[in-house]
Each structure stands twice: as structure tokens, then as C-alpha cells.
Amino acid sequence: MLERLVYVSTAANRHDLTGQAAMIADQSATRNHENGIGGALVAHDGHFVQALEGERPALDRLLKRLEDDPRHYDLVLVDRWRVDERLFEGWALAGVAMDAATREGLEALVADRTLDPRPLVEAMRGRAVPMTASRDYATSRSATG
């Protein structure tokens, strides 16, 4: 059963969130690919917001690892739902090129974790870019991929 989930967490080290996100992507790419997991990660204003999709058992294992990851704390699973198809096909872990609307969606979800994250996930997919240390994911400056 294919599922998608979104979580929000607080970065343990708020310095160089862009570099941290790129390092997480590099470290996660192989494992995510091997486990049939795809998604996107954005670091913004001291928080990580991640959308992930895959089969339920693989997502359960990944969530356990994420809960134990010292790079962040206060992990809140915002929502998890069944899906018929992938949004992040081919992306083991994408970055998100920020624009004003995406930034506003992120800020709203961080402030109120009871909001429906689905519109934000759609926006994240629409702005998905390869994650590298040279991209700025932590500001509202628009980047194109």
C-alpha cells in the first residue's frame, strides 16, 4: 500500500540549514532508493519539513530512524495518507526551490501543525530540484531548477 506522509521537526543546530539539508539528502539517497522511498526535504527558519512516500513498512522503518536522528527534535507527524501514485517518482530526496507561496505554506504549517499539508506537498513537488550544497533552501529567494 503506497502512502505519503509529512512531518515537521526542529533542527538541533540552526546554523547552516542549507548544508545540513544537502548532507541529509546525500546520506539518504541510496537508502531511500533501495527502500522505494521518495520525497522532498526543505529546511526553513530552523525547521525541517519533509514529504515522503513509499510502501507502509518502509515508511514505518524510516520514521523510526528519523525519530532517533540527533540532527532534529520535536518531530511531529502532520499527516499520513494512502495514495494511488507517486508525486516524487524518481526523486530519492529532492530539495525545494523556495518562492513566496511555498515559504508562506511552510511557515503556516510550522506554526499550526494541524493544517492540511497536501497543498504544500503539491507546491513542494512543483518546485522540486536536485539538492546540492550550492542551492539556498533556507530563504525565500526564488531559485529555478
User: What does the pLDDT look like over 38-91, one tens digit per residue?
Assistant: 999 998 889 999 999 999 999 999 999 999 998 899 999 999 999 999 999 989
| Alpha-carbon gap, residue 45 to 50, rounded angstroms | 14
Q: Which CATH class is domain 2-129?
A: alpha beta
* Helix residue spans in the chain (DSSP H): 17-34, 56-67, 100-111, 118-126
Predicted TM-score (pTM) of this structure: 0.85
Q: What is the pLDDT of residue 132?
A: 53
Rounded to 5°, angle at Cα 145 from 105 and 133 = 85
Whether pLDDT at 145 is above 70: no
Matching residue, cell 510502501: 55
Q: Which residues contact 55 (CB under 8 A, 6 or more apart)?
A: 1, 2, 3, 36
Read off the pLDDT of residues 42-56 as tens digits, 9 standing for 90 and up. 988 899 999 999 999
Provide the residue ranges of all domains of the chain, joining segments of one domain with +. Answer: 2-129
